Structure 1
């Protein structure tokens, strides 16, 4: 694989999987786990905040949501690649994706999508009824997201609505309802996605301009860092409101300070005209997820 694709040559997919399965692993982005982490952390944060003080988060839910995030992230990538297969073939970073390159047919991708959705459904039906309804509602966002880059300069905002749904779902899985804390967490996650995915989108801004794909990277241009500072501030404020609503203590707020410092470092250090640096900063957001998750766990205990 070439460097532009963000796929390392001879990674674990190439080394350990049979040739017939490799295109499916690539389609689900199994060798690029950062997307799964970014989808999973809002779920884990919410599950932990919703649980009783003095106890660790429900291990069964932690595992179920981990599997669900892996499967549904793969399903989302499959939907995205089905919708974007013609665009992807024209962009250096995405030209080697299985559908764009012809390694998989559209029919094969659709069958794979159905299997992933089936696994996701099996996980979902183990949750309370209200959580099941929330999970089903998220499918509309998953289906609509790939088309947003054709009609709005803010597809990253729509991705935020989609990727952070777990903040609502995780709380509902524990309590059977919603409250202010998961809503604040969801809104904060929206701005977090705007922050990290705008950085990510700067990798493709030249190719996107050539083929007519819209993004916040293209919309904000040279003013990106000014907007990122606003997004970052709103992340911290909304996450702080979520912690306050959930009755959190010192350890959680200390973790939030760590989140703020990491966002500030990204803002200061990122070079929006350097594709590899944008990708590295994007992937570093997994540390934000771990910092806040561990801080909430310590606080609840």
Structure 2
């Protein structure tokens, strides 16, 4: 029984919470800006739990979609489905249960947010299959991760998200595309062999340049968000830290080696945290 539970935990990556963090930070950015400070406790708890559930559900459906691919990729061949520890139907069941739990949480929010939550589930369910159809599944993932932003605004205000929310959405989408391309650089050789598409393959020798452009656009959008939301010194200090971390990530991927590229991907956790700490401090002081 314990072994089975351990396989389920690995299926939803509870042992690797980086995905939870990367989905959580933009969600918290949006909640603080929408509330102009500390959000309603119930809304905050619903979104934190929703992040954990939807990221876990996304991992389950991702492994289902990649069940025939993961055994051929060095980094993923030990995953529960690839190794035969769990069946495809079990992964589908986990995805369904976690998605339903997340939707049940959304029912605690207003009608507009509930409607937007349906889009969130559709984005999470379809993302893993996109790498078979086009070279930009990272953009699809960006939309899935960033969709919590308009939801946070509707949950807080009860109205359609304002311009600042959509600019923040676009910033999160571009940021996700940048860091997930770093992640895709780790698997580029394996992906080419097995015919899986990714932005890292599409960008080729221009990968660092395009990632850099995406990073600059993300930071510029976060600058505009700060101006529109009339944020002060603490936010801009967090923004400057984010600029420094973006430069550090470029240094890490300079040779396009798998392990440093993975480190650059993981480093984005601190970038998201820097922006959030700046927001919290700015509204607090």
TM-score category (smaller protein)? over 0.9
CA apart distance, 1:40: 1.1
Paired residues, number? 283
Take 2:116 and 2:232, find their aligned partners in 1: how far apart are those partners? Answer: 29
Take 1:57 and 1:22, find their aligned partners in 2: how far apart are those partners? Answer: 35
CA apart distance, 1:101: 1.3
- What is the RMSD of the two structures over their aligned residues, measured on CA atoms? 1.4
Equivalence for 1:34: 18
Question: 120, 127, 135: which one pairs with 1:138?
Answer: 120
Take 2:31 and 2:64, find their aligned partners in 1: how far apart are those partners? Answer: 32
Equivalence for 1:9: none
Equivalence for 2:170: 187
CA apart distance, 1:269: 2.9
Residue 195 (structure 2) pairs with residue 212 (structure 1)? yes
Residue 47 (structure 2) pairs with residue 65 (structure 1)? yes
Take 1:298 and 1:273, find their aligned partners in 2: how far apart are those partners? Answer: 36
Question: 66, 69, 73: which one pairs with 1:87?
Answer: 69
Written as runs of structure 1 = structure 2, the 5 A alignment for 1:101-112 is: 101-112=83-94
Take 1:61 and 1:193, find their aligned partners in 2: how far apart are those partners? Answer: 24
CA contact (8 A) 1:38 1:289 kept: yes
Residue 219 (structure 2) pairs with residue 236 (structure 1)? yes
Q: Deviations over 1:10-48 (max 9, x none)?
A: xxxxxxx92120111111011110001111111100000
CA apart distance, 1:247: 2.3
CA apart distance, 1:272: 4.8
Q: Deviations over 1:122-179 (max 9, x none)?
A: 2111111111111111222112211211111111111111111111111111111210
CA contact (8 A) 1:57 1:297 kept: no
CA apart distance, 1:271: 4.0
Higher mean Cα deviation, 29-38 or 257-266? Answer: 257-266
Do the aligned partners of residues 272 and 146 (structure 1) sit closer, same or farther apart at CA in structure 2, a change above 3 Å counting? farther
| Alignment TM-score, normalising by the size of structure 2 | 0.95
Take 2:259 and 2:276, find their aligned partners in 1: how far apart are those partners? Answer: 27
Structure 2, unaligned runs of 5 or more: none
Equivalence for 1:50: 34
Q: Deviations over 1:187-232 (max 9, x none)?
A: 0011101111111101100100000011111111221111111111
Residue 118 (structure 2) pairs with residue 151 (structure 1)? no
Structure 1, unaligned runs of 5 or more: 1-16
Take 2:205 and 2:95, find their aligned partners in 1: how far apart are those partners? Answer: 38
CA apart distance, 1:102: 1.0
Name the SS of the counterpart of 1:273 in structure 2.
Answer: coil
CA contact (8 A) 1:50 1:246 kept: no
Equivalence for 2:8: 24
| Alignment TM-score, normalising by the size of structure 1 | 0.90
